[in-house]
Structures are given as structure tokens and as C-alpha cells.
Amino acid sequence: MSTPDPQRPIGGTAWRLQSIFRGSVGNLVEWYDWYVYSAFSLYFAKAFFPSGDLTAQLLNTAAVFAVGFLMRPIGGWLMGLYADRRGRKAALLLSVYLMCGGSLIIALTPSYATIGVAAPALLLLARLLQGLSVGGEYGTSATYLSEMATAQHRGFYSSFQYVTLIMGQLLALAVLILLQRVLLTAEQLDQWGWRIPFVIGAAAALVALLLRRGMSETSAYQRAAQRSAAGTMRRLLQHPRQLATVVGLTMGGTLAFYTYTTYMQKYLVNSAGMSKADATLISASTLFLFMLLQPLVGALSDRIGRRPVLITFGVLGTLLTVPILTALGEVKTPMAAFWLILSALVIVSGYTAINAVVKAELFPTEIRALGVGLPYAVTVSVFGGTAEYIALWFKSIGHESGFYWYVTACIGCSLLVYVTMRDTRQHSMISDD
């Protein structure tokens, strides 16, 4: 493990808030780069996959999106080990470099008409790099924010991971709305305008690097470094119950999150028959309110515990997923779609606002980043990363409602975990550091 800096001040509100801000801004840029792909896939799908109808093209881009998730477990493993051995700060810097490289590749890759099969191959390479980056970012960021927060406000401060995650998604949509409605015509967006957000993402990564270089290392990690308590896979496997808990509590939450965020824009266009512009505006407005909910739910968990909040998500998600998605498929007006999606996202907040802190509280310092990042990344790859593809597959075979029941079943499985797990607010491993 790296040697802690004895000159770095540890403690104090200003120091804590500054470090949380620097880490959160970097997280925002990373997730902007990740979600730009989904936000603009309606426009660049035919540039990389020119044959077939819209559903076929979206299936191809969704497949590449899903393949990018396959790198997330590798990123969670490698970057988790790196963060537990070399420090949270070092790992967070490395993840930004990888994300920046992936965005540049997408921005600069010529279309299929110009270079043939090399175009989708380069798109795939870019998503693999970004998947590696995001796989490492989540576990390390969750660990960093949770370790930086005070025990009595840990749910509140760690919720800013999803605030910045959603803000990154919102910025991707804001860029899309600006290009759609102000700067470019639909034809220009289809031809070359979709490259602009990827250039923006690569440039923003440079700003994130500058901010993260000024971050402080967490005191929990520094104490572990002094003990030379390096994390290993062998140590991680000594905590099978915690690993299973991470998988179980993530399964339904991540699937619900990706269903109502990244996939919803396409669902409104491809199934409900709305225009691209209306679907984008609805997604942006609901996501903005969803973002504001995260600290409120995080603070609530500091008062009543993590488990009641998770159980509320599990119960409501199991009961209401099919009715909400069915109604969305038949929605007639943008306002009706807005309220239905917002209702779903209020429910999902019971997972998103606190899932990072719950996972961090399960593991000791020396394996925390690895313990949070690896099982989470595996679960997100299997369930979150395939959400779009499975939804579109059900639609392509004429049984779209099958996807609604699939989401319901996964949330129900997670509910069983929430009911049987201990409340990590009262049994936090971070408190033992």
C-alpha cells in the first residue's frame, strides 16, 4: 500500500466537504461520459449499424452497451484491488483516464460507410474501456464518500454518489436537448452532431483530473496503510455473506434504475410512439427531480435506518412495476408519461440513495473498495447492463409485457434480501475503523 502523507490534514468539516466535492465532481464527469452513449444512440445507431429498421439498430447499440458492462466486473476487481492497496485517490484518477480515452475513440471513429466493420469494432473497444473505468469508479467512489462522511450523516453524504451519477445523465440529456432544439437540425445530428457530446466528455475529464489531484486520502485508508493491511481476493472470499448480500440487494435495484432511466427514452419513442424530442424532455425533467430526492432519502436513512428504506423500495417495486410499465406503454400525453416515470423513480430512490453506503458498511477497510466494487459490478453487468437488450428482445418477439414481469421478479428477489439482512447503520464496519 502507498505511504500516507503525514503533512495532509485529516479531519475538519472544510477538509471533509472539499474532498467529497472533488470526488463527486469527478464522478459526475465519468457518468456523463457513460450515459452520453445511451442518450445519443438514437442518432448514431445507423452510423455504426446501417442495416435494418430502428428496432434492429437499437438492438445492436444496446448489445454494445451490454458488452461494455462485461468489463465492469474486471474493472471492479482490478481497480478495487488497486484502491485497497494504493489508495482511493490513485484509483479514482486512473478511472478518469480510461473514461476519457473511450470518449475520444467514439468521437473520432469514422462511420461504417467510411471504414466498414472497423467502425463497430472501435465502438466496442471504446465501450470496453469505459466499462473498465466505470467498474472501478463505482466501488472506489462509494468507498471514498462513505469513509469521508461522519457516522451520523453517512447516508446523506454518500447519497451524493447517485446525485452526481444522475447529474451526469442529466448533463448528457441537456446537451442532447440543446443540440436538438437550438443548435442543430435533425439531419445534422444524425450526420455528425452526435459526436459533439463525446468531445465534451473527453474535455471535461481533464477538469476532473485536475480536481481529483487535489483530493485528500481518507483517514480510514491511511490507518489501514499504516497497518500494511493490503486487501486480496482471498480476504474478500472470507466474507461470503456480505458478498451474497451485495449481489442480492443490487439485483432488483439496478434493473429498476436502468429500466426507468437509460431505457425509458427509447421505450417512449419505440413503444409509446412519442417523438424523440418529447421523450428526451420527459427523461430530463424526471431525472432532475429524481436527483433532488437522493440526499433526502439518504438523510432519512440516517434517522430510521437503511433497512426500512430498502424494504419500502422492494415492496412498492414488486407491486407496482407491471401497472406502471403497462400504463407507460399506452400513455397518450407527455404529462401522463412524466407523472408515471416520476412515480417509478420515487420508488427507486429507496435503493439508489443508500445502496452505496450499505455496501461500504458491510466490509472492513482493507477490502472495502474490492468488496463493494466487484460483486456490484458483476450484478450490474448481468441485470442492469442487459436491461435494454432484454426489453427490446421481448418487444421484437411480440411479448413486451414479459419484460415487466422480469423486472418485478428481480425486485422481489431483492426484497427477500432486504427483509433478512441486518441494518448496516447499526452494524457498520466503517464505524470500526
Buried b (16+ CB within 10 A) or exposed e, 33-46: bbbbbbbbbbbbbb
In a domain, 1, yes or no: no
Q: How far is CA 389 from CA 9, 267, 278, in A?
A: 48, 12, 22
N-terminal to C-terminal alpha carbon distance within the chain:
17
Q: Which three cell numbers stand for residue 338?
A: 412524466
- Residue 364's SS3 state is coil
- CATH number of the domain where residue 226 is located: 1.20.1250.20
Domain count, the chain: 1
Q: How far is CA 363 from CA 151, 217, 374, 377, in A?
A: 15, 18, 12, 16
pLDDT digits (tens, 9 = 90+) for 301-359: 999 999 999 999 999 999 999 999 999 888 888 899 999 999 999 999 999 999 888 88
In a domain, 284, yes or no: yes
Q: Would the CA dihedral through 134, 139, 140, 141 be positive or negative?
A: positive
Q: What is Dmax (Cα atoms) for the chain?
A: 64
pTM: 0.79
Mean pLDDT of 138-148: 78
Nearest residue to 81 via CA among 1, 27, 156, 26: 1
- Dihedrals phi, psi of 111, to nearest 5 degrees: -75, 170
Q: How far is CA 287 from CA 162, 208, 267, in A?
A: 11, 23, 15
For the chain, the average pLDDT equals: 81
In a domain, 4, yes or no: no
Contact yes or no for 252/411 (Cβ under 8 A)? yes
What is the per-residue pLDDT for 324? 95
pLDDT digits (tens, 9 = 90+) for 260-303: 987 888 888 888 888 877 888 888 899 899 999 999 999 999 99
> Quick one: DSSP state of residue 432?
G
Contact yes or no for 341/286 (Cβ under 8 A)? yes
What is the per-residue pLDDT for 299? 92
In a domain, 5, yes or no: no
Q: Which three cell numbers stand for residue 401?
A: 409485457
**pLDDT for residue 183 is more than 60:** yes
Contact yes or no for 20/154 (Cβ under 8 A)? no
Contact yes or no for 370/80 (Cβ under 8 A)? yes
Q: Where are the alpha helices (DSSP H) in 49-159?
A: 54-86, 88-108, 112-115, 118-148, 154-158
Rounded to an integer, what distance in angstroms lies between the CA atom of residue 317 and that of residue 328?
15
pLDDT digits (tens, 9 = 90+) for 369-400: 788 888 888 898 888 878 888 888 888 888 88
DSSP symbols for 268-326: HHHTS---HHHHHHHHHHHHHHHHHHHHHHHHHHHHH-HHHHHHHHHHHHHHHHHHHHH
Name the range with the highest mean pLDDT among 4-13, 146-155, 271-280, 352-361. Answer: 352-361
Say which residues have a Cβ less than 8 Å from residue 108's Cβ, sequence separation at least 6.
195
Q: Which three cell numbers stand for residue 104?
A: 475520444
pLDDT digits (tens, 9 = 90+) for 46-83: 777 766 656 666 666 667 766 776 787 888 888 778 78
Nearest residue to 162 via CA among 198, 127, 130, 137: 137
Mean pLDDT of 167-176: 85
In a domain, 6, yes or no: no
Grade residue 405 by pLDDT with cuts at 50, 70 and 90: very high
- Residue 345's SS3 state is helix
Rounded to an integer, what distance in angstroms lies between the CA atom of residue 254 and that of residue 316?
15
Q: What percent of the chain has pLDDT over 70?
A: 86
What is the per-residue pLDDT for 275? 83
Q: Which three cell numbers stand for residue 358?
A: 450499505
In a domain, 433, yes or no: no
In a domain, 186, yes or no: yes
What is the per-residue pLDDT for 307? 92
Helices and strands: H and E segment counts in the chain: 20, 0
Mean pLDDT of 144-152: 76
In a domain, 273, yes or no: yes
Please give the residue range of the domain that contains residue 187: 13-428
What is the per-residue pLDDT for 356? 85
Residue with more model confidence, 171 or 220: 171
Grade residue 235 by pLDDT with cuts at 50, 70 and 90: confident
**pLDDT for residue 11 is more than 70:** no
Q: What percent of the chain has pLDDT over 90?
A: 21
**pLDDT for residue 112 is more than 80:** no
What is the per-residue pLDDT for 225? 61
Grade residue 432 by pLDDT with cuts at 50, 70 and 90: very low
Cell 461520459 belongs to: 33
Mean pLDDT of 132-159: 80
Grade residue 4 by pLDDT with cuts at 50, 70 and 90: very low
